[in-house]
Amino acid sequence: NAGVTQTPKFRVLKTGQSMTLLCAQDMNHEYMYWYRQDPGMGLRLIHYSVGEGTTAKGEVPDGYNVSRLKKQNFLLGLESAAPSQTSVYFCASSQSRGFSNQPQHFGDGTRLSIL
Amino acid sequence: DQQVKQNSPSLSVQEGRISILNCDYTNSMFDYFLWYKKYPAEGPTFLISISSIKDKNEDGRFTVFLNKSAKHLSLHIVPSQPGDSAVYFCAASLDYTGRRALTFGSGTRLQVQP
């Protein structure tokens, strides 16, 4: 029972390089999310998707792009990495908008360092 | 402007005693509150939630209390166990048109001493 799987787990980039973080979920969830977590701060929403083919901006979207071509996958792209994007990135998914018994399920994170 | 605050970065308790983790929020429009638990190198795991129409929700050793007038919620763990040692995040949920959004606090690191 994999749940939410993030690839890669670690990555070091140089400033200006690009990369894509992959998130895959096997729970047939409609909603998917990308968060970043920085020291001393809570998780902040970057982008989210309410279904296949749809994406929207969250709290801190600048410098990132996303795509949801398949229901089970949600990709986060950095076109030109900057040191300020050094962070731990978490992907999450949920069945629907409701929260009473449908919380978000998180992957184990991708630790990204930009030099 | 942090809408969800966890003012205690860390908490240490003895095994068997009660752990009380606190969370304050500023936005009165939040209608669901959740607690997540996070171990190192893992993602947050949902622990317990409470609707804004309730003031208490219990699940085994975990109880969440909500005081809407004070905009304060707390998580009680009784009895505390060494396996409870983790970072606990408080999150508040708001229903925007088309989606729900979670706003997280900065977390409290709980250490349960054997």
| Number of domains making up chain B | 1
d(CA A20, CA B81) in angstroms, rounded, equals 39
* Residue that wins the pLDDT comparison between B62 and A30: B62
Average pLDDT over residues B61-82: 97
> What per-residue confidence (pLDDT) applies to B97?
58
Question: If phi over 0 gives left and psi between -120 and 50 gives alpha, with beta otherwise, what is residue A69?
Answer: alpha
pLDDT in tens, chain A (115 residues): 579 999 999 999 999 999 999 999 999 998 899 999 998 888 999 999 988 999 999 889 999 999 999 999 999 999 999 999 999 999 999 887 555 556 889 999 999 999 9
Q: Is the pLDDT of residue B32 over 70?
A: yes
Interface test with A, best of B1, B10, B38, B99 (most A CBs within 10 A): B99
> What per-residue confidence (pLDDT) applies to B99?
64
Instruction: Give the model's confidence band at B100: pLDDT under 50 very low, under 70 low, under 90 confident, else very high.
Output: low
Instruction: Give the model's confidence band at B102: pLDDT under 50 very low, under 70 low, under 90 confident, else very high.
Output: confident
Q: B43 vs A107: CB contact, 8 Å cut-off?
A: yes
Which domain CATH number covers A47?
2.60.40.10
Q: Is the pLDDT of residue B95 over 80?
A: no
B3 touches A at CB < 8 Å = no
Average pLDDT over residues B57-67: 97
> What per-residue confidence (pLDDT) applies to A40?
82
| Number of domains making up chain A | 1
Query: Percent of chain B beyond pLDDT 90?
Result: 82
Q: B101 vs A58: CB contact, 8 Å cut-off?
A: yes
**Rounded to 10 degrees, what is the CA torsion of B76, B46, A46, B85?**
60
> What per-residue confidence (pLDDT) applies to B68?
95
Closest chain B residue to A9, measured at CA: B41
d(CA A39, CA B62) in angstroms, rounded, equals 27
For residue B98, the chain A residues in CB contact (below 8 A) are 50, 56
Range of the domain at B94: 4-113
**Single-letter amino acid code for the residue at B6:** Q
For residues A30 and A51, is the Cβ–Cβ distance under 8 A? Answer: yes
> What per-residue confidence (pLDDT) applies to A97?
58
Query: B33: which 2 tokens?
Result: 């509150």
* Residue that wins the pLDDT comparison between B11 and A2: B11
Alpha helices in chain A (DSSP H): none
Which domain CATH number covers B71?
2.60.40.10
Q: What is the largest CA-CA distance in chain B?
A: 47
C-alpha closest to that of B81 among B11, B14, B24: B14
Range of the domain at A110: 4-114
For residues A4 and B43, is the Cβ–Cβ distance under 8 A? Answer: yes
A25 touches B at CB < 8 Å = no
**What's the helix, strand, coil split of chain B in %, to 5?**
5, 60, 40
**Single-letter amino acid code for the residue at B97:** T
Q: Is the pLDDT of residue B40 over 70?
A: yes
For residues B10 and B18, is the Cβ–Cβ distance under 8 A? Answer: no
Instruction: Scan for tokens 């809570």, then name that residue.
Output: A42
A32 touches B at CB < 8 Å = no
> What per-residue confidence (pLDDT) applies to A103?
80
Looking only at the bridges linking them, the beta strands covering B10-14 and A73-78 are unpaired
d(CA A57, CA A65) in angstroms, rounded, equals 9
For residues B51 and B44, is the Cβ–Cβ distance under 8 A? Answer: no
d(CA A78, CA A55) in angstroms, rounded, equals 16
